[in-house]
Structure 1
Amino acid sequence: MNDWTAAAALAGLDPATRTRLAALSPQRMPRGAVLFRPGDTASGFSVVLDGRIEVFLTGTSGRELMLYAVEPGQSCVQTTLGLLGGGAYSAEAICAQEGHFVLIPRPLFLSLMEASATFRALVFAAFAQRMGDMVGLLERVSFQSVEIRLAQALLARASGGRVEATQAELAAQIGSAREVVSRRLDAFARSGWVRQERGAVVLQDAAALVRLAAAAAL
């Protein structure tokens, strides 16, 4: 993957910083790979070139909540906090879609944060955007019903009218329990909005789901 800095939309960096980063080689992310677990320390700053990483928080009951996904051009809050503050990870990151990333080692990351204004601005801009997403997640989990969050998740994940996801995966994404998602999907199916298949949900009345999802703005 030639000139990954351009592929990763880092063209705004100063030439000296791009030269230092270009010496790093992309690494493959196989689907299902665990990139970090609670208690691990951040070894570097990951730049996702393609693919998707999902970051989960697990409660003492075993219930999971997907905090956010990291796709090309996005950053990982947990990693940035760990590198800048020295704390350990409290969540788990799993590669949901095979792809490639570049790991900027911690010493180089900290050196660039100190020496390069353009690199520092890029990191903080991505961090601010991600924190905004986290606040949005908190608002949705706190104030929106499960039905609305589930409708939004189905619409967001649908490809060709089909959502490739298990009930447990959907529950983790919307901050609910699998049993609750199962009951809501059954209700959606009885209304003719969806059809459930093993490991997937087929959208049969997307317009109804759009109307339900839009109720969040009322």
Structure 2
Amino acid sequence: MSARTSCGSEGGRARCWTTEAQDLAALEPAARATLERLSPAELPQGAVLFRPGEAVKGYVIVLSGHVGVHLLGPSGRDILLYEVAPGQSCIQSTLGLLGGEAYSAEATTSQPTRLVLLPKPVFLELVDSSAAFRKVVFAAFAERMQAMMQLIETMSFMRVEARLATLVLERADADGTLAITQAEVARAIGTAREVVSRRLDKLARAGVIGAERGLIRVLDRAALEALATSAAM
């Protein structure tokens, strides 16, 4: 990252990237000035931020786009642990910066993404000197930990069919259409692509969904909602 300030001008007034991150609005002027010496990076879809075993590089602030963090298995299968959207934190980075552990997962951009990487010395300096920054970091960390606990509960106690139905209901757009591949579904609900393929075929035969290559269409929302609530293993 560049050490120069990344502020530009808009309507004759200075405009810096920190204004794009709502959680940073309450930072003290000194902390904001420290952050504004860093410049955002523009990353294409599929860019790798880190891999398992690598030392933690810094604290990621996502301004736009999404980053997917995946746990990789020895067989090559991977599970989507969480996504980092604007305003959310990367628990892998926070744990590594505070505890000194290496990354145990892989992070890639799932769409073109604009982000800022706070190098470890800058992050630790702000944690020590800025109460407002500490509040942002630990509030985001707590929210992410809660989401991770929910993920563990879902993986442990919800049947594959219920996880699949929940995913489709949550991600489908207003007209009931979801553009997603079977491999992406498998990663998101923590199972194998072959399992997803069989479950989608079964739901399609029952008239609950329409399934095409890279596309799922909701045909019977009530049936999907009933399936999503049948959570017991």
Q: TM-score range by the shorter chain?
A: over 0.9
Aligned pair partner of 2:172 in 128, 133, 158 = 158
| 1:199 aligned onto 2:227 | no
Figure out how many residues of one structure are paired with residues of the other and give that number.
Answer: 217
**How far does residue 214 in structure 1 lie from its aligned partner after superposition?**
3.0
SS of residue matched to 2:52:
coil
Give 1:21 shift. Answer: 0.8
Structure 1 residue matching 2:110: 3-state secondary structure = strand
User: Where does residue 175 of structure 1 map in the other structure?
Assistant: 190
**Pair 1:61-2:75 in alignment:** yes
Q: Residue 115 of structure 1: CA displacement?
A: 0.8
The aligned residue for residue 20 of structure 2 is: 7
CA–CA separation in structure 2 for the residues paired with 1:49 and 1:205: 37
Question: Of the two, which has the highest radius of gyration?
Answer: 2
The counterpart of 1:20, out of the listed 34, 39, 43, is 34
1:146-194: CA deviation from partner (whole Å, max 9, x where unpaired): 0110011112221242212111111111111111111111111011111
SS at match of 1:97: coil
- 1:170 partner letter: V
Partner of 1:201: helix, strand, or coil?
strand
Cα distance in 1 for partners of 2:223, 2:16 equals 45
Inter-partner Cα distance in structure 2 for 1:165 and 1:40: 30
**In structure 1, how many angstroms separate the alpha carbons of the residues matched to 2:207 and 2:16?**
49
Query: 2: CA distance between counterparts of 1:52 and 1:20?
Result: 25
Which residue identity lines up with residue 178 of structure 1 in the other structure? R
Which position in structure 2 is the counterpart of 1:132?
146
Q: What are the superposed Cα offsets for residues 73-125 of structure 1, whole Å, 9 maximum, x if unpaired?
A: 00001011111111111100110011200111111001001111110111011
Q: Which letter maps to 1:82?
A: G
Q: Is the 8 A contact 2:67 2:113 kept in 1?
A: no
| TM-superposition CA deviations, 1:31-52 (whole Å, max 9, x none) | 1111111111111111000101
What is the deviation of 1:208? 2.0
SS in 2 for 1:90: coil
TM-score between the two structures when normalised by the length of structure 2? 0.89
User: 8 Å contact 2:61–2:115 — kept in the other structure?
Assistant: yes
TM-score, normalised with respect to structure 1:
0.95
What's 2:98 paired with? 84
Identity %: 55
Q: Identify the range of structure 1 (208-217 vs 19-28) with the bigger mean alpha-carbon deviation.
A: 208-217
Q: Which residue of 2 aligns with 1:30?
A: 44
How many angstroms apart in 1 are the aligned matches of 2:68 and 2:76?
17
Distance in 2 (alpha carbons) for counterparts of 1:18 and 1:154: 40
Shift of 1:209: 1.4
Work out the CA distance in 2 between the residues paired with 1:18 and 1:193.
51
Report the Cα distance in structure 2 between the residues aligned to 1:26 and 1:204, rounded to whole angstroms.
42
**CA–CA separation in structure 1 for the residues paired with 2:57 and 2:107:** 14
SS at match of 2:149: helix
